Amino acid sequence: MNRVLTRYLAREIFGATAMVLLAFLGLFVFFDFINELDVVGKDGYELHHALIFVVMLIPGRVYELLPVAVLIGTLYALTTLARHSEITVMRVSGMSTPAMLRALGGIGVIFVVLTFVIGEYVAPPAEQAAQQWRLTATHSAVSNQLRSGLWVKDGLRVVNVRTVLPDRSMEKVRIYDFDAQHALLSISEAATGRYDAAQQGWLLEGVRQTRFLGDHTDVVDLTELTWRSDLTPQVLSVLMVVPERMSVTTLFAYISHLRENRQNADRYEIALWKKLVYPFAALVMMALALPFSFTHDRMGGVSMKVFLGVMLGIGFHLLNGLFSSLGVINSWQPALAALTPSALFLAAAAGMLVWVERR
């Protein structure tokens, strides 16, 4: 009997969640498109470029909105069933509260897997492709925070790249080599650079190398020079994608690079923990929706609870962003900053469930 009821619950929840997700996507896609209209007509950026850019952002939006859609969809489905007394029938038929939680957990695992797959394998490449498309359409380079370009520490080297192109090739590269005592050994200037996977490094072309040899210097012109580095194009993709929309593998690689060079990686570590924790938010959202199904308000109950679900979903989204920022500012443990919002909402769900059961 419980299997039949679980399948029935799954059908109702999946349908409601899909409806809510489509509604939210339509709203966010519209706002994204309106936002792009500000730059349409500038630097060759036309309306069809904006449309394609917005479409490429959709997987990232799905990833962001899925837990909220699960909350509202589950809340709507369960409240509708409660309004029609179907939840009461299920409980009379032997589906206790723990059994209901297990059923929702089984359904929620599908949302967890779906969220992880989208966040790891669909949204990050789509986000990179969208940013690359926009830069190509506007004939721009990857934006940097400094006028002098991008500065990167790579072991005993300090690298300055004036321009990183959308295809992640480089122009006007300058490499400063130091010894273990931080004495400058050489400066290599290259016109262009591109990543050579076979050599596992960057192939620099049009190189002029100045070597500092004690009391004199030596200037050498080279046709090409291979710069072997852990700084791969995937790591450079951090310039185009915010940490929260990167894949776990890219975040891990960049965090390793920052640690090796003794640089602060707090923001990226928090983003990595969020990527690992965020898919399980779907389970928390479903647990939060369950207590509402045990109240039987027949007049206006569904609409009021759906509205409350929207507010809770917005609150969860804002709380996630707030704790990420606080974690970076206050140097909190990354796991603490990432787990706290979900833990708070899970505690709220448990408290509400206990309160409803005692009524």
DSSP 8-state assignment for residue 283: H
Phi, psi (degrees; rounded to nearest 5) at 28: -70, -35
Span 86-109, pLDDT tens digits: 777 777 777 777 888 888 999 999
171 and 114 in a common domain = no
Q: CB atoms < 10 A from the CB of 303, how many?
A: 10
Q: How many other CB atoms sit within 10 Å of the CB of residue 321?
A: 12
| Residues 207 and 323 reside in one and the same domain | no
Q: What is the pLDDT of residues 220-269, one digit of tens each?
A: 888 888 888 777 776 666 666 778 888 888 888 888 877 877 778 888 89
Residue 77 placed within a domain? yes
Based on the domain organization, do 24 and 133 belong to the same domain? yes
Same-domain check for residues 230 and 278: no
The angle subtended at Cα 35 by Cα 33 and Cα 36, nearest 5°, is 65
Strands 201-213 and 216-228: antiparallel
Is there a domain that residue 244 lies in?
no
Domain boundary among 239, 256, 280: 239
Cα three-residue angle 191-197-200, rounded to 5 degrees: 85
- Statement to judge: residues 80 and 169 lie in one domain: no
Q: Are 81 and 207 contained in the same domain?
A: no
Q: What is the total count of domains within the chain?
A: 2
Does one domain contain both 170 and 293?
A: no
Based on the fold, state whether residues 36 and 171 are members of the same structural domain: no
Note down the domain range covering 186.
150-239
What one-character-per-residue DSSP string does 166-220 give? TTS-EEEEEEEEE-TT--EEEEEEEEEEEEETTTTEEEEEEEEEEEEETTEEEEE
Contact 240, 131 (CB under 8 A): yes
Same-domain status, 121 and 212 = no
Contact 57, 269 (CB under 8 A): no
- In this predicted structure, the answer to whether residue 299 has a pLDDT above a threshold of 60 is no
* Residue 50 is assigned to a structural domain of this protein: yes
Q: 3-state DSSP call for residue 213?
A: strand
| pLDDT greater than 70 at residue 322 | yes
Give the tens place of pLDDT for each residue, 149-170: 778 787 788 888 887 776 678 8
Q: Are residues 17 and 127 in the same domain?
A: yes
Q: Judge if 203 and 156 occupy the same domain.
A: yes
End residue of a domain, out of 224, 239, 254: 239
- Please give the pLDDT value at position 324: 85
Residue 209 in contact with residue 220, Cβ under 8 Å? yes
pLDDT for 273 equals 92
Tell whether 211 and 130 lie within a shared domain: no
Q: Are 111 and 285 contacting, i.e. CB atoms less than 8 angstroms apart? A: no
